[in-house]
Amino acid sequence: MQPKIKIAASILAANPVRLEDEIRKVETAGADLIHIDVMDGHFVPNITMGPFIVEGIRRIAQVPLDIHLMIEHPERYVDAFAGAAGDGDLITFHIETTKKPKEIISLIKNAGLKASVSLNPDTPTELVEDLLEMVDMVLVMSVNPGFAGQKFISKVLPKIARLRSIAPDEMDIEVDGGITTETITQAVQQGANVIVAASSIFKADDPCAAIKTLKQIAERVDNKVKA
């Protein structure tokens, strides 16, 4: 049985000069996590936020932070991000960036945070299957990482189903990229329970209503799956 539905609001599509207002708004609307996309211009063709921003967000956020590292050599930066974040927050690294994922998971956990591993749309689940007992979450990318506002790649759906079928009961499966009121249904049907959304929340006319709608749809589908 999959764990409960959580909505992770990705601030990649928020107004960067009004971040505090944006975060308070989505928390009030029921966001369960604040998703922070960290990009280095090497692993992905874009550069975004570092530990300094995470530290500022940690001071104001009331829900856990979901730190998505899209960077090469993640092991070099775990301490900096863990120091900026706090207990109960979560760090995700990409399996494509390392040959020693177990060591990175231990680094994250020893720093007191939850650990998660992510795979790109073209990366097979086999690469993370022996890690499922060690991680709190697996993040399945449903777009090629780098930018908000891309189209959902539906060929990743069987990977979500495969991971849900072999994951420990309490393990979260997160889906990230191109989530809308339509694609959220497919992702939850296959077993995703943590749903990232940037554009469909922050670019909506009413971000609060958008979060509530996404959550309602996901919970309805989840209840059907569990029935």
Binding residues for a divalent metal cation: 35, 37, 68, 176
Sign of the torsion angle spanned by Cα atoms 121, 126, 128, 129: positive
Residue 37 known to be catalytic: yes
The single residue of 32, 136, 172, 176 carrying the catalytic annotation is 176
For the CB of residue 226, give the shortest distance to ligand DX5 in the complex, in Å: 25
- Largest Cα separation within the chain, whole Å, is 44
| SS3 state at 56 | helix
Give whichever of 120 and 190 is closer to ligand DX5, judged by the CB atom.
120
From first CA to last CA, the distance across the chain in angstroms is 10
CA angle 185, 43, 26 (to 5 degrees): 40
CB of 37 or CB of 222, closer to ligand DX5: 37
Q: How far apart are CA 63 and CA 80, in angstroms?
A: 20
Q: Does 176 bind Zn ion (CB under 5 A)?
A: yes
3-state secondary structure of 136: coil
- Minimum distance from CB of 10 to ligand DX5 (Å)? 4
Contact of residue 179 among Zn ion, ligand DX5, none (CB under 5-8 Å per partner type): ligand DX5
Alpha helices, DSSP H only, in 10-142?
A: 19-28, 51-60, 78-84, 101-110, 126-129
Tell me, rounded to whole angstroms, the distance of Cα 181 from its chain centroid. 17
| Residue choice 27, 37, 89, 222 for contact with ligand DX5 (CB under 6 A) | 37
Counting contacts by CB under 6 A, is residue 198 touching ligand DX5?
Answer: yes
68 binds ligand DX5 (CB under 6 A): yes
Binding residues with ligand DX5: total (CB under 6 A)? 21
| Contact string (CB under 6 A) for ligand DX5, positions 127-146, x = contact | ----------------x-xx
> What whole-number distance in Å separates Cα of residue 50 and Cα of residue 160?
29
176 given a catalytic annotation: yes
Tell me which amino acid residue 113 is: L
Q: What string marks each residue from 17 to 46 as x (binds Zn ion by CB under 5 A) or -? A: --------------------x---------
- From 6, 25, 58, 68, residue interacting with Zn ion (rule: CB under 5 A): 68
Rounded-to-integer distance, Cα 24 and Cα 20, Å: 6
Per the residue annotation, which of 32, 37, 40, 89 is the catalytic one? 37
Torsion 7-11-17-19 (CA) sign: positive
Binding site for ligand DX5 (CB under 6 A): 10, 12-13, 35, 37, 68, 143, 145-146, 148-150, 176-179, 196-200
Catalytic residues: 37, 176
